[in-house]
Chains A and B, each alone.
Chain A
Amino acid sequence: MTALALLAGVPVLMWVVQSVMLKLHSMPLRWRLSNEDVPDAIRTTGRITTQLGLLSVILLYPLAIGSDITTHYGALLPRDHTLRLAALGAATAILILTLLFIIWLEYGCVAVDIHGNPRKRLRRLLMLVPSSLLGAFAEEFVFRGVIQFDLQRSTTMPTMAVVMLSALLFAAAHYVRKVKRYWTFPGHLALGILLCVAYAATGHLWLSLGIHAGGIFVTLGVRPYLRYRGPAWVTGASIFPFAGIPGIAGLLGFAAIIAWKAQTF
C-alpha cells in the first residue's frame, strides 16, 4: 500500500500548486483540477507539477520499500533476450493502429487535414520518438513498476484482481484533471488491462513498454495530419483511437492472447 499512498499524494500536490497559481493570478479557487480558462502560466505549471509528482513516485518508491532505484528498475528491465518483447509489443500496436487508420481513411471515418503551424508540426515530428518513449517509460514505471508491483508484493489478492485494480487506477488517473470527454474511460480501462496483463504475464516491463510506446507513436504521429470524423463508436476520438469498439476489442483480444500464452492466470 506504500505505492497507493505515494500516488495519492500526486493529485494533492497538483491541487495545492493549482490553488497557489490561481491565487497569484487573482482567480477564484477550484475544487476540481482543471485547466479551463486559465492563463498559459498556470497550465504549464500544472503540467510540470504532474510530471514532477510522477517522477517523485518513481524515485521514492524503491527507497520506501528498502531497495534502491537501480536494483528495483533494473530487475524490471532485464538486459537479456526478453528485450525482444518490447519490439514485438511496439510492432503489434503500430500494425493494428496503422491498419485501423488506413481503413478509417478509406471509409471517411478520418480525413486528411494538415493543421497547426508548420514549425510546430516539425518540432512534434522530431520529438515523436523521444515523446513516445518518455511517455511510455513514465507511465509504465508508475503504474506497472510501482503500483502493480506493490499490489502483487504487499497483498494476497489473486493476480487477476491485482490486474483489474491496477488497470482501474491507470484509467482513473487519466481523468483526475477535468477533461473534455469521459466516455473514453472504457478505452483507457481496456488499455490498462492489456498493459497490466503484459506485466503480470512476463514479470518485466519490456512488453508493456513496447505496446505503450508503439501506441503513443502512431497516435501522436498522425495527430497533426488527420481529423476524426467518427462515428466515435468506431474511431474513438481525438487522441484516443483505442476508445472505439474495434479498439477496445483489439486491446482485450491482445490481452487474452498474452494471458493464454503465458498461462499465468
Chain B
Amino acid sequence: MKPAVIVENLGKRYSRYHRDRPRTIMEAALAGFRKMGVEESFWALREVTFNVMPGQMVGVVGHNGAGKSTLLQILSGIVGPDEGNVEIIGRMGALLDLGAGFHPDLTGRENAHISAVVGGLTRKEAERRFDSIVEFAEIGAFIDNPLRTYSAGMQMRLGFAVAIHTTPDVLFVDEYLSVGDLAFQNKCLDRILDLKNNGCAIVLISHNAEQVQELCDQAIWLEQGRLKAYGDPEVVAGRYAGKMEAISGQPKTRTYSQQVEIRQVEFGQSEGQLEINSGDPLSIDITYDAHQGFDRITIGLSISDIDGQIYFNTNSGTVGLDIPAPMGLGKVNLRIDRLDLPGGDYFVNVGLYAPDWSETYDYHWNEHPFSISWTPEEQSLLNPPKQWQIISLSTPAIETTSTQS
C-alpha cells in the first residue's frame, strides 16, 4: 500500500522583513521602494520527514512556535515548501477554523451548501448529504435562519458537520476537541475514527500529549522546526509531556501536602555543582522534615535529563527498607556504586510517599542538577566497565589488552 502523505526532508523558510517595511503604496513611494527586501530569514521547518498510511492517524505535538501550524499549511498546499518534497494522494479535508468561512447574513442552509462545495463536493454530492449534515449538527429547524442568529456552538457544530461530511482521503485536524459540549465532542471523535477506519489518513495537531497517546498510531514531536522525535506515540508524546513539565519549571512541590518535606538533597560535597566521571559512585543525602509523624515512608529517587527522559529509578520500598518518620528531621543516604551513564547534564529527582503510594508528601523534580563527564566520542546510553581483548592473530601473538574502566 502506498502512503497517503509522504513528507521528505521538508523545509520552510520564512522571511523577516524590515521593521519599517512599507505597508502601503504611498509609504513605499515615499521610501523610494527601499526597505522592501528581506532582512533575514529563518527556517520555520527543516529536515522533516515522515509518512502517513491510509487509515493511520499521526499526532503532531510541540509547543507554540515549533512549526506545527506551518506544517499543516504546507501539507494543505496553502504555502509551498522551500526544500524537500510533499506528496498527498487523494482529496483533502480540514478541521480548522470551523465555520470561519460562514457569512452571517446567509442562512445555515446556504452557508452549509457553499462550505460543502468549497470543501470539495460537487453540488449534487452536497445535496445528497445535506440531511445527514443537518442531523449531525443538531441544528434542526434553525437551518433556514440566518447564521447571525446562531450561537457560537451551533456555528461550530455546523462547520464541523460540513467538514466531516466531505469524506476526505486525507484529513488535517487542528485541536478539534473544542467543539461543543462533551457529548458532541465524543460524537465528533467517533466520526473521525469512522473516517480513519475507512482508510482516511489523518494528521492531528495537538497540545495534548494524552490525546495523542490515546488516538494516534504515530507521533511527531516538533521542536524549533525540527523533528525532535518520531515514532510510537506512547514514547514520543510521553517524552514531550515530561519535557513540558521541565520547562514549565515550577516543581510539582507546590501541589503536594508537605506533611513530610524534603529539606535538603546533597551530594556530599561542599560547594559548586557536582561533576563526576562516568562510572564513578554517587552518594546522595536526603534530609526530610516531618511536620506530622508517620510510622513509615517510602523515598523514591530517579535520575533524568533535561528532556525528562528517566534513566534510573529506584525506591526504598523495593528493598523492603522501613524509613520511620517521627516528627522532626531525618536523614537518609543512597549510595549508587557505579553510575554508568554517558556524559551530560542530569537531575536527581526525589519524592516522599506513603508506603502504599496512596499519597505523595513531597516531590522535587529537576531541582538537583549534576553532570557527568565522559571523554570518548561514542553515542551511547550506557557506559558499563568493559574490556577489549585480541584472542588470536595469524602472526605470532603478542599479548595485547586495553582496559578502560
A and B: bona fide binding partners: no
Point out residues on A near B: beta carbons under 8 Å.
Answer: none
Chain B residues with a Cβ under 8 A of chain A: none
